[in-house]
């Protein structure tokens, strides 16, 4: 399998679902991305959705969650493994708070982080990614009444944004994926797209060698770079000596053909990216439809990288 990086440059702000509409995350997960690609495939032509699902199920196409980049620095999720700090002897309470709060590790410092030699100054650099604000908007109810509401929007600084690692079997699969990405870049990703949020340009880049080697080489411990869930027959072995966090994934079905009214997808719990395992698993895409006219797919396949020192 070959790998490329796709850098997303957002022209305006974004709104990625979090705990409430008033807040927003600055990243999104692989299942959100896959759902958006599914909607785009349906819009672009008959048979494209089936092709997309087949490529993913047959491991011909795989992708990570969306992670931050700043200039030429790529950030990876903080691995859920114990790291002993070897810098400056005792770790201060303030440093402990910084490391605990830290969500991402720069690729350039990933090895030093695993060795326990990562500084808090390096950890602070991601603060230059961008900033979030809360905007006040108004919804119209009937002909006269308006109701104000607050929405969280995140804006990336210049030369910063998100990237996705994409694995593909051959150039035909890559070109198929890029066709869907082209459409999605205009449609946008995330919430409040009708307000101009979530639109982006994308650029393909070669995957850094140090990251490619960690994805392709053998290791005694692996970190998943995407939300994922083992098949039932894989689950017992997957959780053996694993360190992971489960997150609930839910939401409404975007398809207008699914039902006469908007319905929710079935909730599903998946491993968060950054979860670490000693046994790899295949995962799957799961049907989370509930009472609608067609299947609704939730992406839960892992993209692993080694996290051995």
Residue-wise pLDDT tens digits, 258-305: 555 666 777 899 999 999 999 999 999 998 877 666 678 899 999 999
Determine the pLDDT at residue 256.
61
Exposure letters 109-120 (e unless 16+ CB within 10 A, then b)? bbebbbeeebeb
**Residue 120 reports pLDDT greater than 60:** yes
**Residue 93 neighbours by CB under 8 Å, 6+ apart:** none
Cβ-contact 150, 94 below 8 angstroms = no
- The closest of 193, 190, 183 to 26, measured between CA atoms, is 190
Cβ-contact 7, 203 below 8 angstroms = yes
pTM: 0.90
């Amino acid at each position: 399998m070959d790998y490329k990086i796709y850098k997303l440059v957002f022209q305006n702000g974004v709104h990625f679902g979090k705990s409430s509409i008033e807040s927003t995350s600055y990243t999104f997960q692989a299942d959100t991305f896959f759902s958006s690609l599914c909607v785009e495939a349906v819009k672009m032509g008959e048979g494209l959705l089936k092709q997309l699902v087949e490529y993913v199920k047959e491991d011909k196409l795989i992708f990570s969650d969306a992670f931050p980049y700043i200039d030429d620095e790529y950030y990876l999720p903080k691995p859920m493994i114990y790291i002993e700090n070897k810098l400056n002897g005792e770790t201060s309470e303030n440093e402990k708070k910084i490391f605990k709060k830290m969500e991402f590790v720069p690729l350039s410092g990933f090895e030093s982080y695993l060795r326990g030699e990562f500084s808090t100054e390096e950890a602070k650099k991601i603060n230059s990614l961008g900033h979030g604000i809360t905007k006040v908007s108004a919804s119209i109810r009937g002909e006269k009444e308006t109701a104000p509401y607050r929405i969280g929007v995140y804006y990336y600084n210049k030369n910063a944004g998100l990237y996705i690692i994409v694995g593909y079997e051959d150039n035909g699969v890559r070109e198929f994926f890029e066709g869907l990405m082209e459409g999605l870049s205009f449609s946008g990703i995330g919430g409040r797209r009708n307000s101009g949020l979530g639109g982006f340009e994308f650029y393909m880049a070669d995957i850094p060698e140090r990251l490619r080697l960690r994805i392709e080489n053998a290791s005694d411990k692996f970190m998943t770079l995407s939300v994922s869930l083992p098949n039932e027959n894989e689950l017992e072995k997957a959780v053996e000596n694993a360190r992971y966090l489960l997150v609930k994934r839910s939401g409404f079905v975007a398809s207008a053909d699914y039902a006469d009214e908007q319905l929710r997808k079935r909730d599903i719990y998946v491993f968060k990216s950054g979860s670490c395992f000693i046994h790899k698993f295949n995962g799957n895409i799961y049907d989370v439809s509930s009472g609608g006219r067609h299947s609704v797919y939730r992406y839960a396949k892992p993209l692993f990288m080694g996290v051995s020192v």
